[in-house]
């Protein structure tokens, strides 16, 4: 009885700590949603966390202010293609780095790792010059193609593929599968947690990216969501309720992406704890 009580109270204590931490994490989101539903006059008035007003007009106004549906479509096209691109190229490169022997393999590997140390803003100007030479400026292609390769993605998948026994490859090859087929039908399904992590990172990175689209895009018809949102806070004031309404709208795809990947992510974390 005593032990049971101890167990329950310990569990309760654990949960109280978890609830406290998650409340802190969730507070800004709750504030964002509540503010997005307030009339502009009451943007700074209490209550801050519980919505008492439902001024849906903010959403209508935010979406009408700029061609937000266009920005949304652009962002979705870019984020989805970048995600597929990164998973595709990273899987091929990661498999090659792990399973094949080829000249300069180590040098190439360390060069790849070193490239992760270069801060992104430093790459903007040379990248932009390349884009201009290719005549891709002010085109969504400039947001997609250069982002389809990721050193981080290759590293992540390689580490995971390394933990998959080669017996799987050999078995598939004995059945007559080509290397591509082995990667696609054997390795990637086994590496699903890592692929899900990479896909989520790639999607969120492409969805949130601000500096690169700002530099390469000039026409509003090509703008992405972050560029549109930034315009709600300007030199002559911030329109908080519209800014928050736009931000709530922009968060939805990220939440959907997370929920879609959640199962694989948790499975990935769990499988890491099993000693095989």
Partner 1 sequence: MKLTHRRLASILSLAVFATVSLGTGSAIAASKAVKPVTIQFWNYWDGGNGQALSKLVTEFNKKNPGIIVKPVTFPWGDLLPKLQSAIASGSTPALAATDIAWMANMNQSGKLVDLGAALGGIKKATGDIYPSLLTYGLYKGKLQSLPASTNNLSLFYNKDLFRKAGLNPNKPPKTWAEMRADAMAISKLGNGTQGMEIYVQPGEGLTWQFQPYLWQSGAGFLNKTNTAPTFNSAAGKTALQFLVDLINVDHAATAGQWGAFDKGQAGMRIDGSWMVGGYRDNAPFEFGTAMLPIPDGGVHATNMGGEQIMAFKGTTATQAAAVTFIQWFTSAPIQARWDVATNFMPISDSVANSNVLLKHIAEEPALKAFIDQQKYAYARPAIAAYPAVSDAFSKALEPAFYGTVSVSDALANADAAVRKALSTN
Residue numbers at the binding site for partner 1 (CB under 8 A): 40-45, 65-66, 124-125, 128-129, 132, 137, 214-215, 218-220, 227, 230-237, 239
CA angle 102, 104, 106 (to 5 degrees): 100
Nearer to partner 1, 7 or 181 (CB): 181
Instruction: Give min distance, CB of 273 to partner 1, in A.
Output: 40
Distance of CA 139 to the CA centre of its chain: 22
Any residues with CB less than 8 A from the CB of 196 and at least 6 apart, and which?
A: 261, 264, 265, 268
Nearer to partner 1, 196 or 229 (CB): 229
Instruction: Give min distance, CB of 208 to partner 1, in A.
Output: 15
Nearer to partner 1, 4 or 41 (CB): 41
Nearer to partner 1, 197 or 241 (CB): 241
Nearer to partner 1, 52 or 233 (CB): 233
Instruction: Give min distance, CB of 71 to partner 1, in A.
Output: 12
Burial per residue of 50-88, b for 16 or more beta-carbon CB atoms within 10 angstroms, e otherwise: eeeeebeebbebbbeebebeebbebbbebbbbbbebbbe
* CB neighbours of residue 228 within 10 Å: 24
Instruction: Give min distance, CB of 38 to partner 1, in A.
Output: 11
Distance of CA 61 to the CA centre of its chain: 27
Instruction: Give min distance, CB of 158 to partner 1, in A.
Output: 26
What sign has the CA pseudo-torsion 227, 231, 232, 233? positive
Q: What length does the chain have?
A: 276
Instruction: Give min distance, CB of 231 to partner 1, in A.
Output: 5
The four Cα atoms 172, 177, 181, 182 give a dihedral, to 10 degrees, of: 30
Nearer to partner 1, 65 or 77 (CB): 65
Which run of H or of E encompasses 89?
helix 68-99
């Amino acid at each position: 009885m005593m032990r049971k009580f101890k167990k329950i109270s310990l569990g309760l204590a654990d949960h109280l700590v978890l609830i406290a931490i998650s409340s802190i994490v969730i507070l800004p989101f709750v504030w964002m949603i509540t503010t997005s539903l307030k009339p502009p006059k009451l943007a700074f008035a209490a209550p801050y966390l519980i919505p008492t007003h439902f001024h849906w007009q903010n959403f209508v106004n935010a979406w009408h202010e700029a061609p937000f549906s266009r920005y949304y479509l652009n962002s979705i096209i870019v984020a989805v293609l970048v995600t597929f691109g990164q998973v595709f190229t990273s899987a091929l490169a990661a498999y090659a780095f792990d399973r094949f022997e080829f000249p300069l393999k180590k040098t190439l590997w360390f060069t790849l790792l070193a490239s992760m140390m270069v801060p992104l803003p430093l790459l903007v100007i040379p990248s932009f010059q390349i884009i201009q030479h290719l005549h891709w400026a002010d085109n969504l292609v400039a947001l997609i193609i250069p982002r389809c390769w990721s050193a981080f993605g290759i590293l992540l998948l390689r580490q995971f593929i390394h933990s998959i026994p080669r017996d799987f490859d050999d078995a598939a090859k004995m059945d007559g599968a080509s290397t591509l087929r082995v990667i696609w039908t054997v390795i990637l399904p086994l590496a699903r947690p890592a692929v899900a992590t990479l896909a989520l990172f790639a999607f969120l990175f492409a969805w949130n990216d601000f500096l690169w689209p700002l530099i390469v895009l000039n026409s509003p018809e090509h703008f992405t969501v972050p560029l549109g949102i930034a315009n709600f806070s300007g030199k002559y004031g911030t329109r908080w309720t519209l800014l928050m309404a736009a931000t709530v709208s922009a968060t939805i795809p990220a939440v959907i992406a997370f929920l879609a990947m959640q199962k694989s992510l948790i499975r990935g974390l769990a499988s890491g704890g099993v000693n095989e």
